[in-house]
Amino acid sequence: MAKKAITKKVTTKKAAVKKTAKKVVKKVLDKTQLDEKIISEYKENKSTYDMISCYIKCYGGYVLAVGAGCTFGASLIWGTILLAAAAGWAYNVRHCKPSEECCKNGNCCKN
């Protein structure tokens, strides 16, 4: 009987702590409005972020291939995996011509 009373008190205490924690988290999330801040920052610098993502799309495979070459010395398996990923990347952006046309005036590899 005493064991049930102790278990009930512990359970009640845990429920109270969970409820308080949920309230605190909700207050913090309501105050920060992090989503709106991120969206407004993106809208202010939209052209810069779009240009960065375009260059990553066009030239990221080269970085991946260099990483694969460097990894071969440490691990043949991981080097092969990275090399296959670089080949897949190259296949997906094969229409992208690395030139002055790419990533200019909103023309991100749409040739």
Where is pLDDT greater, at 71 or 29? 71
3-class DSSP state for residue 69?
helix
b/e map 32-65, b = 16+ CB within 10 Å: eeeeeeeeeeeeeeeeeeeeeebeebbeebeebb
pLDDT at 83 over 80: yes
pLDDT at 20 over 60: yes
Q: In the block, which residue shows the tokens 């990483």?
A: 67
Distance, CA of 55 to CA of 93 (rounded, Å): 12
3-class DSSP state for residue 99?
coil
Q: Please state the pTM of the whole predicted model.
A: 0.51
